[in-house]
Structure 1
Amino acid sequence: MRSLSAANSAVVFTSLEAAVPSASMGLITGLFTFLYHLPQIYKWLLRPYYVISFTMTVAFLLVRKTPGLCEHLASDREDGNSCDFDWREVEILMFLSAIVMMKNRRAITLEQHIGNLFMFSKVANVILFFRLDIRLGILYLALCVAFVMTCKPPLYMGPEYIKYFSDKTIDEELQRDSRVTWIVEFYANWSSECQSFAPVFADLSLKYNCAGLRFGKVDIGRYSDISERYRVSTSPLSKQLPSLLLFQGGREVMRRPMVDNKGRAVSWTFNEENIIREFNLNELFQKSKKLNKSMSLREKQNSAQPEEGSDELLENPNSNQQTESKKDQ
């Protein structure tokens, strides 16, 4: 029995020895990744939208903790210290933390995490300022309204292989070639969910775009007739923004999120894994690569045929075209 216990202890100790280095390597890798992208993070966070949002997020904290100002504020603390949070303010802040954690469970990108933090912090600041002084509450609420009306979150400007449609080009482009499969995002610039999804959709276009599988976007907030034609509601209550539609042969095959009989969207998470799985992107990409090769071969054969009345061969029309998909390069 002692030998068996000793053997079990040795196995456990060996497993721990193996787990500790792997965990350490994971932490080190994450730290180096963060440090590598630190200049980009600073450049991103120093944009006016995020600087002002951060200032408004910590506004109550600054007012409550600033010497010379906090002494003149009201407080429910028993010791009368108006430069520290009272029990009700602590309760509101704890409730805020719980709400942010619950909302961030469904967040996909870093922008969504930070956006949830900013939004609910402003709501908590409004409550805290109104509780402290109604004049401060009205002033802060007016600043929030002015901020929403004048300062918009920065749009994604990174690399992508996406074609942007208008109300006059979308039908013609979808029906141009029946062999081409299109994945089209219906979005609106005012939607924070669409803005957060933009880098995810762009990354998918970089990975999967090719001659037989194309990615497109159309702003239905700008072209309302398209939203009616393709039955994608722009109402915030419908929760249909963004919507991804798959077209094959110019016809809609599937969409996410799905819409029930009452016109309400079925809850669906717009992350990369779900999109790859639901739309079978890996299978579509493999089929599209074969189509891409056959189309290139056919174009080469056509270019090799001489014109009537001429002994010169046609130049290859695709010699100067850039390949759209990075996977094909």
Structure 2
Amino acid sequence: MGLITGVCTFLYHLPQIYKWLLKPYYITSFFMTIAFMVVRKAPGLCEHLATQREDGNSCDFDWRELEIIMFLTAIVMMKNRRAITLEQHIGNLFMFSKVANVILFFRLDIRLGILYLVLCVAFVMTCKPPLYMGPEYIKYFSDTTIDEELQRDSRVTWIVEFYANWSSECQSFAPVFAELSLKYNCAGLRFGKVDIGRYGEVSQRYRVCTSPLAKQLPSLILYQGGQEVMRRPMVDNKGRAISWTFNEENIIREFNLNELFQKSKKLNKTRGFKEEQLNGSEPEEGSNELQPETIEQEQPTESKKDQ
């Protein structure tokens, strides 16, 4: 039954997956991943390659190459235990496959190893993973707007993601954070993001380290009344992040999003009632007139295209 459900889910999302896989980054990564296999199996080429097989068949993997491939498989499986999106799973596979290919090519022929390594460097410098560009209700801050927005209204609760575009973890988390903003964003509960890879002074001001060794990216911080209430991941005395999985379930539980959302909806009703009193009029029964806060939430606050 579980297999049937998985197949049905895959077929349902197949058009989206097909469109996603057609992006240049993933197409190039795929061919670089299978490069060694193609070279080892290519007719007319494999006959001239070195091999340690007892039968002398240079068109098949030798025992050392099989060991490296099996070790790669184990590493990818261990790494993907913490992956939360399909992009992370595929990204881990591509990354470790390229590392294994470098070792395999250098072992096979140093000239092939140097050529493949140069291609990997050129790929990293010229081809970046595609950024998430789907729907979201997220306000993008700059170094001059974040303080003002967080302190503008003490009744508004903010959940702010501190991220950097170069971080693969941040890129993988982007669709998860966007989905949460679509579900929970309202006048009293807002979602924001700030690129601390671009605004370095913000990282110092809000005590979020951008070093890859600190593993603090992404960082989610909850603000109420302009003051920090909690953050994930937490940071120990040595400035290193305590391991934490950035999936939707953990965020909803740790940040009490359901409770915050219910309180925020009450805040919306209170604001609407006060405005009606100030205007001296009552809304007609069955009226479809929306409150200003509700109208505001029908459009995304900002998108990456505005950056």
Pair 1:273-2:249 in alignment: yes
Equivalence for 2:170 = 194
User: 2:227 is matched with which residue: 251, 256, 261?
Assistant: 251
Mapped contact 2:69–2:100 kept (Cα < 8 A): yes
User: 1:147 is matched with which residue: 113, 123, 127?
Assistant: 123
Pair 1:167-2:143 in alignment: yes
Equivalence for 2:285 = none
Q: Report the AA paired with residue 321 of structure 1.
A: I
CA separation of 1:287 and 1:38: change in aligned 2, threshold 3 A: same
Pair 1:323-2:297 in alignment: yes
User: 1:292 is matched with which residue: 254, 268, 271?
Assistant: 268
TM (norm. structure 2) is 0.92
Pair 1:224-2:229 in alignment: no
Mapped contact 1:300–1:316 kept (Cα < 8 A): no
Pair 1:183-2:159 in alignment: yes
CA distance in 1, matches of 2:294, 2:178: 24
Equivalence for 1:308 = none
Displacement of 1:325 in angstroms is 9.2
Larger displacement relative to structure 2 (59-68 or 290-299): 290-299
Equivalent positions of 1:199-218 (< 5 A) are: 199-218=175-194
CA RMSD, 1 decimal: 1.8
Q: Report the AA paired with residue 163 of structure 1.
A: K
Mapped contact 1:208–1:325 kept (Cα < 8 A): no
Displacement of 1:100 in angstroms is 0.4
Equivalent positions of 1:1-329 (< 5 A) are: 23=1, 26-304=2-280, 318=292, 321-324=295-298
CA separation of 1:250 and 1:319: change in aligned 2, threshold 3 A: closer
CA distance in 2, matches of 1:304, 1:135: 83
CA distance in 1, matches of 2:38, 2:294: 59
String of CA shifts for 1:67-89, please: whole Å, max 9, x gaps. Answer: 00101100001111100000000
Question: What SS does the aligned partner of 1:186 have?
Answer: strand
Displacement of 1:300 in angstroms is 2.7
CA distance in 1, matches of 2:221, 2:241: 14
CA distance in 2, matches of 1:303, 1:218: 37
For structure 2, the residue ranges without an aligned partner over 5 or more in a row are 282-288, 301-307
Displacement of 1:61 in angstroms is 0.2
CA distance in 2, matches of 1:303, 1:159: 35
Question: What SS does the aligned partner of 1:198 have?
Answer: helix
For structure 1, the residue ranges without an aligned partner over 5 or more in a row are 1-22, 306-314
Mapped contact 2:268–2:293 kept (Cα < 8 A): no
Q: Report the AA paired with residue 261 of structure 1.
A: N
Displacement of 1:261 in angstroms is 1.2
CA distance in 1, matches of 2:89, 2:271: 43
Mapped contact 1:257–1:267 kept (Cα < 8 A): yes
String of CA shifts for 1:108-129, please: whole Å, max 9, x gaps. Answer: 1000000000000000000000
Question: What SS does the aligned partner of 2:197 have?
Answer: coil
Q: Percent identity?
A: 83
Mapped contact 1:162–1:216 kept (Cα < 8 A): yes
**Aligned positions, number:** 293
Q: Report the AA paired with residue 323 of structure 1.
A: Q
CA distance in 2, matches of 1:322, 1:175: 19
Q: Report the AA paired with residue 133 of structure 1.
A: D
Mapped contact 2:187–2:293 kept (Cα < 8 A): no
Q: Report the AA paired with residue 210 of structure 1.
A: C
